[in-house]
Amino acid sequence: MTLIATQSLTKTYGNQVTALSDLTVTVEPGIVGLVGANGAGKSTFIKIMLGLLGPSGGQARVLGLDPTVDGHEVRTRVGYMPEHDCLPPDLSAAEFVTHMGRMSGLPRTTARERASETLRHVGLYEERYRQIGGYSTGMKQRVKLAQALVHDPDLLLLDEPTNGLDPAGRDAMLALIERIGTEFGISVLVCSHLLGEVERICDALVAIEGGRLLRSAQLSDMTTVTEVLSIEVSEGTEELAARLTEAGLSVRAEGQLLLVPLVDDTTYDLILTAVAELDLPLHRLDQRRHRVAELFATEPTEPTEPAEPAEPADLADAGTTTGGLQ
Amino acid sequence: MTTLDAQPAARPTGVIHDIGYQRYSGPRLGRRHIVGALFLHGLRAAFGLGRTAKAKIFPWLVVGVVGVVAVVLTAVRAQTGEVVLRYAEFPEVLTILIIFFCAIVAPELASRDLHSGVMPLYFARPLHRADYALARLASLVCATFLLLAGPITVMFVGAAFTVGEVGLVWDEFGSYLGALAYVVVHAVVFGAVALLISSLIRRRAIAAGAIVGAFMLTTPVVVVLTLMPNATANQLAGLASPVSLVSGLGDWVFESTGEAGIGGYGPLYAIVAVALVTGCVLLLLARYRKVASK
């Protein structure tokens, strides 16, 4: 089943402001990143998905339903975590999430059970009986996530879930979202203005800019071909780069890091040998996905897809992968 | 979850198993139930139930004062047989307490949600924005009704044991029911005005002040109009304030003769009251339409 499908979706406020413009995108279930700068139209997109805003033009379907017609049904099956602060300070997390569960149509006892279950899953235990006003930002974000999850939705819409978190908190939140998407079996749409953040956990990415679709791509396809090893040594970076190039690897420098495409296991051996022979202090050697930013930025050499008429002309750099472009 | 396929039975007893996330396949109640739950939640919140001790102080202070008044009146009647205050006069005498109660509860129901930014969470749920506004109004009206109906019931029960004769008890019952209807009018008018005001103001304290102000500051206008040397102006003076509007209605219904201060304008008072409530509700719905679109 298609998770979200839009067809020439357009939203204008008044006469002047265009939030979304001719957006056509298809998203399959999984963890989907919706990336764009502030004001790119991410929040408007979410509100249309929830049926809270009517589109000025075009169509949208969420979980196979039209949110403008069946908004009620859509909102029963979708959980929404807003970007801004949305928690009453003088309630405990347990009470608040229970109430929100009831507001989604859960019977009283079920709401209470599911509230404490959900709070446990997001990592709040005994603290859940304390007033939310005394929580740290990280705990508040977890409560916000829990209230979106309490009624067991089929789709979670998360608007900037890592906002205001420190690096450790970000990692924890992203790990949690990844668990929701994989273990819990709930599809997630994560909005973020930080591409580097969501690319780590997403199966697919949708990038929008100024209300237009920049690119939509399935990440699982590209990771197999674009896995890279990043190497960090505290000195002798140039020497190592030269040595690796000699060994037949295509080395690219990125700041203090050297990036080497991972061909097979021998790549590791080559690198380790080179480091050992040069007697360099190796800081880090890890495998990572190709930075999606590069995929979005660089012009691919050969388009593997025929250009689609719906695609904006200036963005007709069809992906190296099977895109979600309609 | 990995522990799902590991057989829990094979593990040592006394271990809490993390059985992982459970999907929910049970019933999901419809919109009617959700609105009902919100109404009940609001009604409990009005009296600070399920809230901190601090949230209980003010509503229960008002309830206490109203209750004491009722108990004293009942006791006086039981001892001396003298009716100090008729049932229908009870809400009029305690108007100031009703205003305080609305000023305490309405911001608790409306301003609090606006201030904490929780509204998008409601609107992202099956609840319709009009459902939210009307459920909140129903909670406030019902709480105000209970505030007055409880003590009046105490007075009636006390009186029923005092008068002794069955026929007189029926008379009492009739005026008791009339008073309850009058209490409903009070609750609806005061509740609609108070909730509208607090839905416009995000800070609770300011909203409470504005509600008291709206009811109190219109009183001098009424006083000035009643002092005018013009009988019509005097009789229409009550329309200038929700408080005197409601008491004017009471005069029309409960004062049988023309001695009441509103002359023959009773129906006009009724129309204005209905128009006031309707206007407040429409503005309230418009207000939440705006809140939802943000």
Give the Å distances, CA to CA, from A293 to A218, A250, A257, A308, B149: 14, 19, 16, 22, 66
- Residue carrying the six token digits 């033009």: A57
Could you report the per-residue pLDDT of A231-262, keeping only the tens digit for each?
A: 888 888 888 888 888 888 888 887 788 888 87
- Residue carrying the six token digits 């709070």: A119
- Is any Cβ of chain B less than 8 angstroms from the Cβ of A76? yes
**A54-58, Cβ contacts within 8 angstroms, sequence gap of 24 or more:** A55/A9, A55/A10, A55/A11, A55/A20, A56/A10, A56/A11, A56/A12, A57/A8, A57/A9, A57/A10, A58/A6, A58/A7, A58/A8, A58/A9, A58/A10, A58/A22, A58/A23, A58/A24
Q: Above 70 in pLDDT, residue A308?
A: no
Task: Count CA atoms closer than 13 A to A206's CA, side-chain side.
Answer: 28
What is the spatial distance between Cα A82 and Cα A104, in angstroms, rounded to a whole number?
A: 16
* Helices then strands, each counted (H, E), chain B: 14, 0
What confidence score (pLDDT) does residue A326 get? 32
What confidence score (pLDDT) does residue B232 get? 81
What is the spatial distance between Cα B8 and Cα B16, in angstroms, rounded to a whole number?
A: 10
What is the spatial distance between Cα A151 and Cα A147, in angstroms, rounded to a whole number?
A: 8
What confidence score (pLDDT) does residue B220 get? 87
Domains observed in chain A: 4-222 (3.40.50.300), 227-288 (3.30.70.980)
CB contact under 8 Å between B120 and A80, yes or no, is yes
How many C-beta neighbours within 10 Å does residue B63 have? 19
- Is any Cβ of chain B less than 8 angstroms from the Cβ of A123? no
How does residue A290 score in pLDDT terms, banded at 50, 70 and 90?
A: low
Q: How far is CA B25 from the centre of its chain?
A: 37
What is the spatial distance between Cα B222 and Cα B241, in angstroms, rounded to a whole number?
A: 7
How large is the average pLDDT for residues A137-159? 93
Provide the token pair at A301: 């050499």
Q: Residue type for A192, please?
A: S
**A18 three-class SS:** strand
CA-based nearest residue in chain A for residue B115: A88
DSSP secondary structure, A258-272, as one string: EEEE--SHHHHHHHH
What confidence score (pLDDT) does residue B116 get? 92
Residue B181 belongs to a domain: yes
A153 contact residues in B (CB cutoff 8 A):
none
Residue B93 belongs to a domain: yes
What confidence score (pLDDT) does residue B210 get? 95
How does residue A266 score in pLDDT terms, banded at 50, 70 and 90?
A: confident
Provide the token pair at A245: 């190039």
CB contact under 8 Å between B121 and A82, yes or no, is yes
What confidence score (pLDDT) does residue B14 get? 59
Show the CA angle centred on residue B177, arms to residues B109 and B272, nearest 5°.
60
Residue B88 belongs to a domain: yes
- Is any Cβ of chain B less than 8 angstroms from the Cβ of A107? yes
Phi, psi of A302 (to 5 degrees): -125, 115
DSSP secondary structure, B169-199, as one string: HHHHHHHHHHHHHHHHHHHHHHHHHHHHHHH
CA atoms B26, B30, B32, B37: torsion sign: positive
What confidence score (pLDDT) does residue A293 get? 56
Contacts of A53 (CB under 8 A, 6+ apart): A11, A44, A47, B293
Q: Above 70 in pLDDT, residue A302?
A: no
CA-based nearest residue in chain B for residue A79: B124
What is the spatial distance between Cα A244 and Cα A230, in angstroms, rounded to a whole number?
A: 13
Residue B10 belongs to a domain: no
Provide the token pair at A164: 């205001």
Residue B8 belongs to a domain: no
Phi, psi of A99 (to 5 degrees): -60, -45
Question: Of the segments A49-63, A195-209, A264-278, which one has the largest average pLDDT value?
Answer: A49-63
Show pLDDT as tens, one digit a residue, over chain B (294 residues).
444 444 444 445 555 556 688 888 888 898 899 999 999 999 999 999 888 888 899 999 999 999 999 999 988 888 887 788 888 888 888 999 999 999 999 999 999 999 999 999 999 999 888 999 999 999 999 999 999 999 999 999 888 888 777 788 888 888 899 999 999 999 999 999 999 999 999 999 999 999 999 998 888 888 888 888 888 888 888 888 888 888 888 888 877 655 557 777 888 889 999 999 999 999 999 999 988 877
CB contact under 8 Å between B126 and A72, yes or no, is yes
Quote the minimal CA–CA distance from B137 to chain A in Å.
Answer: 17
B28 contact residues in A (CB cutoff 8 A):
76, 104-106, 151
**A241-250, Cβ contacts within 8 angstroms, sequence gap of 24 or more:** A243/A274, A243/A277, A243/A278, A244/A270, A244/A271, A244/A274, A247/A274
Domain region containing B239: 33-293
Q: Answer for the pair A191, A159: CB distance below 8 angstroms, yes or no.
A: yes
A105 contact residues in B (CB cutoff 8 A):
28-30, 33-34, 126
How many C-beta neighbours within 10 Å does residue A95 have? 20
- Residue carrying the six token digits 């109203």: B66
Of A137, A34, A18, A149, the residue nearest A87 (C-alpha): A137
How does residue A289 score in pLDDT terms, banded at 50, 70 and 90?
A: low
B24 contact residues in A (CB cutoff 8 A):
106, 110, 114, 151-152
Residue B17 belongs to a domain: no
Cβ density class A266-284: b for 16+ within 10 Å, e for less = ebeebbeebbeeeebeeee
What is the spatial distance between Cα B102 and Cα B195, in angstroms, rounded to a whole number?
A: 8
Of A207, A276, A197, A185, the residue nearest A239 (C-alpha): A276
Q: In what order do the strands lie in the sheet with A228-233?
A: A252-254, A257-261, A228-233, A282-288
Of B90, B287, B277, B117, the residue nearest B180 (C-alpha): B90
How many C-beta neighbours within 10 Å does residue A242 have? 14
Q: Residue type for A99, please?
A: H
What confidence score (pLDDT) does residue A155 get? 93
* Total number of domains constituting chain B: 1
What is the spatial distance between Cα B60 and Cα A293, in angstroms, rounded to a whole number?
A: 60
CB contact under 8 Å between B120 and A86, yes or no, is yes
On average, the pLDDT of chain A sits at 82
What confidence score (pLDDT) does residue A221 get? 57
Classify residue A75 as exposed, middle or buried by CB count within 10 Å of its CB (0-12, 13-18, 19+): buried
Asked casually if ipTM beats, i.e. exceeds, 0.95, the reply is no
- Is any Cβ of chain B less than 8 angstroms from the Cβ of A188? no
Give the Å distances, CA to CA, from B271 to A297, B127, B248, B267: 68, 32, 12, 6
Return left, alpha or beta for A88; rule: phi > 0 is left, psi -120 to 50 is alpha, else beta.
beta
CB contact under 8 Å between A121 and B21, yes or no, is yes
Residue B72 belongs to a domain: yes
What confidence score (pLDDT) does residue A315 get? 37
Share of chain A above pLDDT 90, in %: 29
Which stretch of A193-202, A279-288, A292-301, B221-230 has the lowest confidence by average pLDDT? A292-301
B1 contact residues in A (CB cutoff 8 A):
183
Q: How far is CA B206 from the centre of its chain?
A: 19
